A and B are shown apart, each in its own frame.
Chain A
Amino acid sequence: MPTDALCTANPHAAADLPPVIVGAGPAGVRAAEALLAAGLAPILIDEGAAAGGRIYQRQPPGFTRDAATLHGTEAGKATALHTAFDAIAARIDWRPGTLVWAVRPGELHLHRDGRAETLPFRDLILATGAMDRLIPLPGWTLPGVFSLGGAQIALKTQAVAIGRQVAFVGTGPLLWLLAHQYRKAGGGIAAVIDTTPSATKRRQILGLLTQPGMLARGLSYMLGLRRAGVRIVEGAMPEAILGEGRVQGLRWRDARGRVQESVCDAVAMGWHLRPEAQLAELAGVPFRFNPRQRNWEPDKDPTGRTAVPGVYLAGDGAGIEGADAAEIAGARAALSLLQDRGRAVDAGLLAALDRRAGAMLAFRHALDAAFPFPHALAAGIADDVMVCRCEAITAGELRAAVDPGGAMEINRAKAFSRLGMGRCQGRVCAPAAAEIIAARLGAPVEAVGRLRAQAPVKPLPAAARSTP
């Protein structure tokens, strides 16, 4: 795998430095735990105030709902992860509220409360997780439109619903999970609109049965929603979010082509997740296109190693595999790191982790096939719909940028149109933009490439000053 020397020649490759983990979600916490168990206390960094990551995000101080209310069927796992973290927190170098905004060979750049700091590293585990993948729809910038993840965070950490009558639209397990969570919390549901037909899901039943517990949970969410009389539509495509100044409805086309409308005052939408992999890119890790998920992801092997010596990846930041797989991958990457440092690791544990990871893979592949990304919906976004919210670039402007004599890949389309040049640096619009460009060029989506990342990976206050 090719990498380049600018990114990979680590001046601290032999230094006696503690391993550094970025991300304190399921992957990062389990990695920290495994390193500490081997007597190597890591530095664990997260921009959030508490450990837990996205799925097991803790409530802000003062909120006191119990784990069962917060995490439902996942309460046991959430509690286990929080307990595991609490047990090691005092013995590791835990740095919450700290953004890693840049990576150079052997060097992380941190920002916390206006102070910038350089942290030298020898070994690095990136466990940076994922974010929602969205498809821009007419009206998606109206107040009241949330990503599925955003709607879930509102519910989980602040105990607020995003509306009185919420329409859920998208595909993937999170769509159903979130609708279930809203129903349990007593929220009104206008409709659950899954862009995947039920037949597509049924076809994956054998693969999904490899994790019968997960399948059963998923089915129980669907069944519970149906029993509660929630309007459920599968194989339908959203057409527009309606409303003046705020969300008032959702228009969609059902599987038979009939246009329908649901009255709602909020919309939660999302089509799976995409890896948050900018730090991996800055660290010099090569990327690959995952055709099952239609995502670009940094390339790692099953042990968490990458082409860059000393840089390991774990969890959804290296390809969406879910929280359980993230825990396994975190521990596995830590063991690889220990081995590469010449430490003995428990062969039984290693084999067990690999076995469990392998077993989850069949389920993951079935899940990917059961909830495919509706790329034609993204590619067909009407010309007047805004694709890039930060820079207010419409699908039509993007198409104009690739028309004859124009751009032939996504970075050049960005240069011509300003798409992806704003505050989020294309993290939100890139998946849909790539589909639009590919369709316009008649090229496979992987051929139009991906937006290149640069520091800062998230906005950095210009008031940041180096600590002496």
Chain B
Amino acid sequence: MIWRRRSEAEREPVPAERDPDKHPVLSNLAAIGKISTDVLVIGGGGAGCSAALHIAERGVRVTLLERGLVGSQASGVNYGGVRQQGRHPAELPIARRSRELWGRLREITGSDCEFVPSGHLKLARNAEEEAELVAYADVARQYDLPLRLIGRNAVHAEFPFLGPAVVAGSFAADDGHANPRLLAPALARAARKAGAAIVEHAEVVRLARDSDGFIAETANGLEVRAKSLVNTAGYWGGAIAEQFGEKVPIQVLAPNMIVTEPLPYVVKVNLGVVGGNVYLRQIARGNVIFGGGHGEADPVALRARPLPAITLEALPLAAEIVPMLRDALVIRSWTGMDGQMPDHIPVIGPSRTTPGLFHAFGFSGHGFQLGPAIGAILGELVLDGRSGTPIEAFDIGRFTLGKPP
């Protein structure tokens, strides 16, 4: 059971002296090429790095293997929305828990990852969309997510940068945005400090299970034995689950992202719209980051590209809600790869085939906010056998056991 191995030439060059095998922390590991540990985490996105941190903090030996650099996939290149508003109700308890961790990130990791609790304003551009805002406010109330509905006149008075197309808004004061490039590296640093081994440039290419537990082999010849296995491999988590007889209908999702040159800093909230065809935030430096539509991705070649035609479609949508964007210059577009499940919510929980295996992948385009709590939940699942946060809705069995459990 082997993933496609990439040739040497396709890999990012690694400076010889920074070669992970020669990393001081791991020098003995390089010498023997084998380690045994309690918990092995595959995938160093927000979810995996947070899991390594939470497990290490409990004094348990944990090794995380990451194919590239931590946060080099979805967790490092996403839009940066830290949003609870608009989530599937089943996700709200996790999102609430994660929001609490976001508020303490500096204490937990030494970096606030530029998290700004700016509030998230979701906009309606017609009566139908406004009705959706009202309906969601009822859902949110049941999950203690405070939302404030704002009518047409008030929304323009409070947020004068909005264009006339906006007819109403729903404001989640608790939400915000952060710098995605910082989260996974900050969590990984904290995890290392707590005693976790975080090994980069270590792509797991072979996985097996015997009576002692799991054995993982990396493309560069490392062998890791562990009693428990955590699958936080993002889109590629689907392939790992399949190794253990749990094939899920996962697809690659590549949101198309755009950033402008700095503009006057006026959009001080994270903006979304009903339907999600455009979303937009501004950082204090002035750059406006926005997304809408999807790019293209080849998860085997590990390449994702924004699509110029989609970029051109997003421009008028963004200018419609924030007209000052009409005079902006776009300086970059990009995308990344997340795993998308058919029901748009992730797989989280124990494997249904393999004791000791736990999944958390397929966050369907909105797992950046969830990352910190996912790690906490995985830590509980692995070490205590259960989590206080309800996760039944995310059981992998909904795809593998024929019908919902």
Contacts and interface: CB of A to CB of B under 8 A. Distances in A.
A7, A102, A444 pick with most chain B CB within 10 angstroms? A102
B121 to A, nearest CB: 21
A279 B296 CA distance: 18
A424 to B, nearest CB: 8
Contact of A459 (B10, B331, B334): B331
B181 A415 contact: yes
Nearest to B296: A6
Nearest to A466: B312
Interface in B299-333: 301, 303, 305-309, 311-312, 315-316, 318-319, 325-333
A462 B17 contact: no
B311 A423 contact: no
A24 B261 CA distance: 28
Contact of B17 (A1, A118, A441): A441
B9 interface: yes
B243 interface: no
A235 to B, nearest CB: 31
A447 B329 contact: no
Interface string B1-41: 00000010110111111100000000000000000000000
Contacts of B209: none
B87 to A, nearest CB: 27
Interface of B: 7, 9-10, 12-18, 69, 76, 181-182, 185, 189, 192, 260-262, 285, 296-298, 301, 303, 305-309, 311-312, 315-316, 318-319, 325-334
Contacts of A107: 308
Contact of B189 (A104, A405, A449, A465): A405
A456 B14 contact: no
A415 B334 CA distance: 14
B261 A422 contact: yes
A422 B13 contact: no
B308 A104 contact: yes
A324 to B, nearest CB: 33
Interface in A328-361: none
A464 interface: yes
A2 B331 contact: no
A447 B15 CA distance: 5
Given A423-B261, A443-B15, A462-B328, A5 B307 contact: no
B15, B76, B330 pick with most chain A CB within 10 angstroms? B15
A4 B15 contact: no
A442 B19 CA distance: 13
A464 B319 CA distance: 11
A412 interface: yes
Contacts of B14: 408-409, 447
Contacts of B327: 462-463
A330 B5 CA distance: 38
A415 B309 CA distance: 26
Nearest to A463: B326
A461 interface: yes
Nearest to B8: A2
A409 B192 CA distance: 20
28 contacts: A2-B9, A6-B296, A6-B301, A7-B303, A104-B308, A118-B308, A409-B12, A416-B185, A421-B332, A441-B15, A441-B18, A442-B17, A443-B16, A443-B17, A443-B18, A454-B306, A455-B311, A455-B332, A456-B332, A456-B333, A459-B329, A460-B330, A461-B329, A462-B318, A462-B327, A463-B327, A464-B312, A465-B315
B181 A416 contact: yes
Contacts of B306: 454-455
A459 B261 CA distance: 8
A280 interface: no
Interface in A384-429: 391, 405, 408-409, 412, 415-416, 418, 421-423, 425
A460 B318 CA distance: 15
B260 A462 contact: yes
Contacts of B301: 4-6
Nearest to A450: B13
Given A101-B308, A423-B329, A447 B16 contact: yes
